[in-house]
Structure 1
Amino acid sequence: MGLSHDAVVAIAKSFGLFYLIAMSVGICVYAFWPRNRARFTHAKHAILEDEDGPLTGEEPR
């Protein structure tokens, strides 16, 4: 006896919901982890560094 289409759809929707919740929690934990503060602070300020000068052909930092 196999699963009906409605049962498979309900299982897929439930799995997808829990998957997205787990991914959201994981991303928030990564973003607010104290050890990552320096990396994100550097990224925040790096976009403003060397903005007024011409391109020199150097490798980006």
Structure 2
Amino acid sequence: MDYETIAAFARTYGLVYLTILFIAVLAYALWPRNKKKFDHAARIPLRED
């Protein structure tokens, strides 16, 4: 295995990995079950303790 082979492998599978990670984070953020949790977290700075 030379440098070019390793670099091509890293480019290809790195892109696949980051794309899957992006889709997973996006799905987590937009999942309806998490709405209440995120709405609560969004109001934290506006609370007066």
TM over 0.5: yes
Unaligned stretches of 5+ in structure 1? 54-61
Match of 1:36 among 34, 37, 47: 34
Q: Which has the larger Rg?
A: 1
1:45 offset after TM fit, Å? Answer: 0.8
Residue of structure 1 equivalent to 2:8: 10
Q: Extract unaligned runs of 5+ from structure 2.
A: none
Structure with larger RCO (C-alpha < 8 A, sep 6+): 2
In 2, Cα distance between equivalents of 1:6 and 1:46: 50
Distance 2:18 2:39 in 1: 27
CA RMSD of aligned residues (A): 1.0
What percentage of residue pairs aligned between the two structures are identical?
Answer: 33
Q: Which has the higher helix share?
A: 2
Q: Aligned runs of 1:46-61 on 2, under 5 Å?
A: 46-50=44-48
**TM, length-normalised to structure 1:** 0.74
Runs of 4 or more consecutive aligned structure 1 residues displaced over 6 Å after TM superposition: none
